[in-house]
Amino acid sequence: MLCAEKKHGWISTPVKFLFRAKFSRKQKKALASMFQAVAYVSRGLFRSYAGLSVRMNSTGIDQKGVLANRVAVVTGATDGIGFAIARRLAQDGAHVVVSSRKQHNVDRAVAALQGEGLSVTGTVCHVGKAEDRERLVATILDVNVKSPALLLSQLLPHMENRGMGAVILVSSIAAYIPHVELGPYNVSKTALLGLTRTLSLELAPKGIRVNCLVPGIIKTNFSKVLHMNEVFWNNFKEKYHLQRLGQPEDCAGLVSFLCSPDASYINGENIVVAGFSPQL
């Protein structure tokens, strides 16, 4: 996930499934619309989103909270962990731009969050179609590692202009405890730990912090295959002394904290949210 801040604005975008290596014209347009939103905020124009290519407008409510007057751009935000993060950042006062591959999911998420009185808009960020099986490995690495790096390279100039920022990548407990059948996924998520550390050093002089959320097993559609597999789940629970299944909201609070000024002295950390420590 990624955030940028100066006096007026935060950009915040979880870079989990994120973008493919190559951006189509449509993808670039989606990114451009995110940048426009950020530019608006940096000029303090929360009131009007006219001219933005987002589908639904802000509720225009007054923003209060630790992230007031910041904009959060959350990708992969229409379900699961990303959705919980979007909701939490909005509850903490940010204006949130949610995005995912499918317009109907974006519309549903925006409507749900606006229905809660939150300041939210949405835009589609399609990261491309699935490749054939032979290209599966390359695709996972592209989507999980290369794409966040590419996305960052496009967003960083905007953060640099603001002189401060925060990036939050989303890895996985699989980086510490590899699933035997998920080799490429394990490798991609492990690479994100390294990307976090490297970027945190490289970007520190620009005032940009880079940290990483490392979720354990969190109850979402994505992880159904694990937590609904009784044998796997019971073994896992027993082995790691887990008391319960994680919820997306367990991740959202950490992300909001890492975006906030309270975390301004935290940089280069991979933080596990799993109900246990894989390092014990």
Ligand X SMILES: NC(=O)c1ccc[n+]([C@@H]2O[C@H](COP(=O)([O-])OP(=O)(O)OC[C@H]3O[C@@H](n4cnc5c(N)ncnc54)[C@H](OP(=O)(O)O)[C@@H]3O)[C@@H](O)[C@H]2O)c1
Q: Give min distance, CB of 229 to ligand X, in A.
A: 12
Closer residue to ligand X (CB): 93 or 215: 215
Residue of minimal Cβ distance to ligand X: 80
Closer residue to ligand X, CB minimum distance, 164 or 218: 218
Q: Which residue in the list 40, 49, 185, 265 is annotated as catalytic?
A: 185
Minimum CB–partner distance for residue 104 and ligand X (Å): 8
For residue 84, CA distances in Å to 52, 224, 247, 255, 256 come to 24, 17, 9, 10, 11
> Is residue 235 within a helix (H) or strand (E), and if so which, with residue range?
helix 230-239
Token pair in block for residue 38: 């950020």
The pair of structure tokens assigned to 124 is 């589609």
* Smallest distance from ligand X to CB 265, Å: 26
Our CB check for ligand X shows the closer of 94 and 274 to be 274
Minimal distance, residue 44 CB to ligand X, in Å: 29
Residue with smaller CB distance to ligand X, 211 or 220 = 220
How far is it, in rounded angstroms, from Cα 208 to Cα 200?
8
Is residue 176 annotated as a catalytic residue, yes or no? no
The alpha carbon of residue 95 and the mean position of all alpha carbons in its chain are separated, in whole angstroms, by 15
Contacts of 101 (CB under 8 A, 6+ apart): 124, 125, 126, 127
- The residues facing 75 across adjacent strands are 99
Positions that interact with ligand X (CB under 6 A)? 16-18, 75-82, 100-102, 105, 125, 127, 143, 170, 172-173, 215, 217-218, 220-223
Asked whether 271 and 211 are in contact (CB, 8 A), the reply is yes
Structure tokens, 113: 């969050």
Q: Give me the active site residues, please.
A: 185
